[in-house]
Structure 1
Amino acid sequence: MIKTLKHSLFLTLLLGVVGLVNAQSIEGSTTTKTLPIIENGEAQIVPEFKDASKWIRHDLWVETDFDTDGDGKKDRMHVAVTRPYQTDTENLKLPVIYITSPYFAGVAPFKEGSFWNVKHELGQPAPPRIHPEVVRKGERPIISNSHINTWVPRGFIVVHSSSPGTGLSQGAPTVGGENESLAPKAVIDWLCGRAKGFTEPYGKKRVKAYWSTGKVGMTGTSYNGTLPLAAATTGVKGLKAIIPIAPNTSYYHYYRSNGLVRSPGGYLGEDIDVLYDYIHSGDESKRAHNNATVRDTEMKNGMDRITGDYNDFWAGRDYLNKMEPMKAALLMAHGFNDWNVMPDHSYRIFKAAKEKGLPVQIYYHQEGHGGEPPLSMMNRWFTRYLHGVENGVENDPEAWIVREDAPRDQPTPYPQYPHPEAEAVSLYLTKGAPEVGGLTLNKKTGEGKEKLIDNYSFSGAVLAQAEYTDHRLLYLSPKLTQDLHISGIPKVTVTLASSKPAANLSVWLVSLPWNTSKKAKITDNIITRGWADPQNHSSLTNGEPLEPGIFYEVSFDLMPDDQIIPKGQQLGLLIFSSDREFTLWPEPGTELTIDLDKTHLEVPIVGGTESFKKATK
């Protein structure tokens, strides 16, 4: 029921206890105020806040401290507000849930030639690509309707903004540059009374967020999930909690892998300059300047599709390097089978935030890109840190993982991730090429060397199912006699020689036999994967050409996972060169020779070696 209070003393006492609204009253007067309702630690739908026809919707421009479009004026961000009418009629102040995005005003079409051509030799430049233009869309004052139906009825104000150089926001898109952190910081500063807001993009009439409590939370998915983290790494005061969903936390990790030029899943040939073109929906008169300074200078000089090495350009777009100022409570969400923004993006930030002592939780599901936590989990997080209700969420289990056959809104709680009982189990290779070799606990010597021949024509899935082929090496564990729980980050060490100065290296951990049924689940076949450039065997920042015939040790992590492999399956280590779905496509024929005695896999298994022994006896 709605709580209507008509005695100022009772109102003041109640508000002091629950900390929901900073109300002002005059002694002896009668006040009426509609308040959020909290039950079981969650904000409930308030009937008086539910009528969308009565919501107040307006837009404005917040002034930043930067000028990235070169017009000599500080860039202003376009901001839209959706709030209950009681914020005017009752002088009600409420916390804010804020979503910012480069996508709200439309994106460029995917055209042939707008992505990089991946069919060329490693270390060689690709042919030039075309640059599609965005046709801007959108109307004032509504930037987006996302999230409003969920949160406004529950006693929150919802704010949207367009990223720099997109929509009606001024400036230039930088795809991870500093202004993408400072822009949402400016909006939060305005929500907290520290920055200037204006009614028009170049006007002087001021507007204030008098309805804001100064407590802000952020959320969003993919790029929209990256930007809450970007804002949080500024340490901006007032940003209390963020819920990034499948966020890109490092553009190097998104477009490169251990020195290798690697595309995000589903977007072969995409790179950071392609994404720049895709989102550049801002003022048409500013686009030529932005293209020249950002895309055709900073990105062209820094992105380095030739070597794939980590450099200052990429370091500046890696939020793990910027965590020190962060104060916001963090609930991360990701899919273990997200091969677009891969699951290590969330884990690396979650781990760093935990080490800083921040309140953290992580929610992983077994599906692909996107997938927010259950509403109840998000509600408890925002109710605790925005409404200030002591609901004990910080004492909830730290990790929530959706098991393989469970619906996404029914995760299993765990005290932490990886599972506290998981231990790295080393597995070694026995020969078998061009058919199948073994994967065993016992390290043998004298297994010799085996070769594979690169050919991008064959996908990883085809290679995993092949009984006999020269284009991959495959090593299988004994058949599992009981379920085996993997939790954490597998690591592979491959000692190899290449017939050419450069080669792709792709490694998949698979579950066989391969399920070819139309009803196969995403978890049935691929457990996890990883890619590396052997030229970066000793340094991520300074790869060197391989000397043909010389063996090099290449060690790298595969993607994080938490999966229960059912009995009857076999673990399979699949080693091949070019990955048709992710890497460049050099001319087939490069030979990789693997030294089996000096190659091994480490798998984090709940219960460690004993569990593996029991499952394979």
Structure 2
Amino acid sequence: MNVRRRITAAAAGALITIATLAVSGPATAATPSSTPVHDGITHEENPRVPEGAVWTEHYFPSADHSGVELHADVLRPANLPQRAITPVILAVGPYFGHAGQTGPEGWAQTGPSNRFEDFTSGTNLFARGYTYVMVDLRGFGGSTGCLDWVGPGEQADVKAAIQWVAKQPWSTGKVGMYGKSYDAVTGLVGNNLRLPALKAVVAQEPVWNMYNYLFSNGVPRPNVTGTPNAYNGIATMAGLSDDSDRYKANADYEVSHPECLADNLTNNNNPDLDSPYWRARNLAAKAKGTSTPLFITQGFIENNTKPEDAEEYLDNHRGFERGWMGQWEHVRGNETNGAGQLLQGRAGFFDEVMRLYDHYLKGAKPSVQDPAFAIEDNTGGWRAQSSWPTSASSRTTADLLNGQYVDDGIASALAANADADQQWDMEHYTDPSPLAASNRAPMQAAADTHSYFTWSTPTTSRVRITATPDITLNASATGNVMVRLWDVAPDGTAVMFDENVALIERAGRVTFDLKSTDWTFELGHQLGVQLGTIGSGSWRDTPSGNTIQVSRAKLGLELQNPRYDVPTQGDRSPFLDTYLRQFTRTLTDVGEGTFPLAVRGRP
């Protein structure tokens, strides 16, 4: 079936043809050709089309034979013949709707999303001979179907998108994926699918296990309902008035299928990590044995897609890896603030990305040797490593003191002013500042019934905690537990640099990871380990009211000697100072310490 669609030209208001599309038949049919019969729309005809590109639209079925129809916006180099073959950069996600990324943006006419126009223009992508394709996940933009929170349905969408672009007559069959946040998650999915056509993935600030965005070890996060509501809102955005009838009908799919919205609010409201629902969405576990070349970015103090299960994903992945990891918020590698500072602190992001793509999609050997991993620690200094974590780190286990706390939901410091009714999408949510952040209020450590501390002895040389700390403990009763790690200076000034929580479902042994971190302790500093109740503003926990006695607690750490760092270029990321202002306190009654914090075997 051929569909002709029309658009209002920007300059004169005249009607012009965008494309005649060959679209799919029934979902059970073979994957159809979807090649436009003419050259599509240029920037001169529609200013929403990037300069140097030609825009066409296409439809094709998802890979799960569900009847879901996917929509793609294709941007081809304008200086090439229609069927000139090029490698393809693919982005798949919920943010490519014609009306806007996360809400209506007031466009006067339809056109392709500008979500990654910074990437296509900043790399001269079209002049370099690449095609760029944006595919709407099911339920979003011009695609039908019920949104699926990166489940089997959306994984089938990613599979279909990769296979479809690889088979087009203008494609070399070599595909790279690009994204940040949700559309970085789909890049991780692409790697997990093990498709030969996918040659490289760039994933900035992804979620490594979808469970962790809504829950933490059985404890609901405050966005457990806000996030599904936000994506319901994105999924119900209508097409624009000059979109084709087909696009508008697909965009209205969730409106005409309200069960999709209802299911999205209930299906993922399950705190059990081991349930079939969450096992299907545990991308870190499903990465075992995969080998697609991978370039990731991850902020250790991320306020949105936090560094949980990143280490497991990278450990399970066996292919080429490159990464930028440091002290930033939820930002892109090229992003700057109003003062022109790079928000991740390191220059040359697009250059490194294109060296990766040129190598694996074009076979061009890079003339510059980039470090495998560039890491920024809390001092703002950058170092190069061959892997993350590095094999040069030393595993140690600290025995913590026995103690007790009252699980009443009254955290003694850093309670977050969270609004459980706010609709948070993965692209824009940031943690609220702690209530007491402005005055750095002193925190009574020893006499607090809501938590207790164990202290390391003062460091005798600089030492770094890296990778992913973990905790095991025996709890005497059901309830909740929070573990926080503090960097404490000799004068009691302390920064909370890592934390996580867990539900104690039954009395006995509890084990869980904290967030991945990279934090250097100066000479004479102590590590403070705080165990206690969960602040009710930070998580949507239900306090048990129990007095919980803790015994046989052990903290697992990876330690690194900064003396052996190999410096690499990079400036202090601006968010680090914001974080330090928010999470610095004065701790009183600091103990002398019961365990050392030192790298064994390397002076």
- Settle same-fold status: TM greater than 0.5: yes
Matches within 5 A, 1:366-405: 366-372=327-333, 374-391=349-366, 397-405=371-379
Equivalent position of 2:286 in the other structure: 322
Does residue 479 in structure 1 map to residue 458 in structure 2?
yes
Verify the 8 A CA contact 2:77 2:131 in the aligned structure 1.
Answer: yes
The separation in 2 between residues aligned to 1:190 and 1:553, in whole angstroms, is 49
SS at match of 2:176: strand
CA distance in 2, matches of 1:587, 1:249: 28
CA contact (8 A) 1:107 1:278 kept: no
Q: In 2, distance between residues paired with 1:495 and 1:603? A: 19
| CA distance in structure 1 between the partners assigned to 2:100 and 2:544 by the alignment | 36
- Summarize deviations over 1:294-325 as a string: whole Å, max 9, x none: 454576356325xx452011111122343368
The aligned amino acid for 1:279 is I
Partner of 2:62: 64
SS at match of 2:278: helix
> What is the CA–CA distance in structure 2 between the aligned matches of 1:611 and 1:301, rounded to whole Å?
44
Is 2:531 the counterpart of 1:575? yes
- Coordinate RMSD, CA, aligned: 3.6
Distance 1:299 1:220 in 2: 25
Number of equivalent positions = 465
User: 2:157 aligned with 1:186, yes or no?
Assistant: no
Secondary structure, aligned partner of 2:331: coil
Post-superposition CA distance 1:458-511 (Å, at most 9, x none) = 44477983344222112222333432112222121222223xxx4111101111
Match in the other structure for 1:512? 488
- 3-state SS in 1 of match to 2:352: helix
Answering whether residue 466 of structure 2 is matched by residue 492 of structure 1, we say no
* Corresponding position: 1:81 with 2:74: yes
The one-letter code of the counterpart of 1:454 is: D
Q: Distance in 2 between matches of 1:278 and 1:325?
A: 37
Q: Deviations over 1:488-545 (max 9, x none)?
A: 22121222223xxx4111101111259999xxxxxx823222221221xxxxxxxxxx
Identity %: 19
Unaligned stretches of 5+ residues in structure 2: 1-48, 238-249, 334-345, 416-435, 563-594
Distance verdict in 2 for CA 1:87–1:190, change over 3 Å: farther
CA contact (8 A) 1:77 1:169 kept: yes
**Alpha-carbon deviation of 1:326?**
4.5
User: Is the Cα contact below 8 Å between 1:61 and 1:77 reproduced in 2?
Assistant: yes
Q: Does 1:530 align with 2:500?
A: yes
Alignment of 1:156-305 (within 5 A): 156-193=130-167, 209-258=168-217, 260-263=218-221, 268-270=223-225, 273-281=228-236, 283=250, 285-287=252-254, 290-292=257-259, 294-297=260-263, 300=266, 303-305=269-271
SS at match of 2:80: helix
TM-score, normalising length: structure 2: 0.68
Is the alpha carbon distance of 1:321 and 1:419 closer, same or farther for their aligned partners in structure 2, counting shifts above 3 Å?
closer
Aligned-partner residue type, residue 229 of structure 2: V
Q: Secondary structure at the match of 1:533?
A: strand
Q: Which residue of 2 aligns with 1:155?
A: 129
AA aligned opposite 1:412 = R
Aligned partner of 2:89 in structure 1 is 97
Give secondary structure in 2 for the equivalent of 1:99: strand
With over 3 angstroms needed to count, the CA separation of the structure-2 counterparts of 1:66 and 1:137, relative to structure 1, is farther
Instruction: Indicate if the aligned counterparts of 2:285 and 2:312 stay in contact, CA closer than 8 A.
Output: no
Deviations 1:175-217 (A, max 9, x none): 1122212223222222222xxxxxxxxxxxxxxx433222111
In structure 2, the CA distance between the partners of 1:561 and 1:613, relative to structure 1 (3 Å rule), is closer
Q: 3-state DSSP class of the match of 2:158?
A: helix
Q: Which residue does the alignment assign to 1:334?
A: 298
Higher strand fraction (1 or 2): 2
In structure 1, distance between residues paired with 2:597 and 2:488: 19
Q: Unaligned regions of 5+ residues in structure 1, if any? A: 1-50, 69-73, 110-133, 194-208, 431-447, 518-523, 536-545
- How far residue 290 of structure 1 moved from its aligned partner, in angstroms, is 4.3
User: Is the alpha carbon distance of 1:211 and 1:318 closer, same or farther for their aligned partners in structure 2, counting shifts above 3 Å?
Assistant: same
The CA distance in 1 between the partners of 2:106 and 2:190, in whole Å, is 26
Q: 1:325 to 1:490 in 2, by over 3 A?
A: closer
Offset of residue 274 of structure 1:
3.3
Distance apart, 1:351 and its partner CA: 1.2
**What letter corresponds to residue 357 of structure 2 in structure 1?**
F
* 2:326 is the alignment partner of 1:352: no
Aligned pairs (5 A) from 1:415-430: 415-430=386-401
| Aligned counterparts of 1:419 and 1:326: Cα–Cα separation in 2 | 20
CA distance in 2: counterparts of 1:452 and 1:249, whole angstroms:
33
**Distance in 2, Cα, partners of 1:61 & 1:313:** 29
Deviation at 1:233, TM superposition (A): 2.3
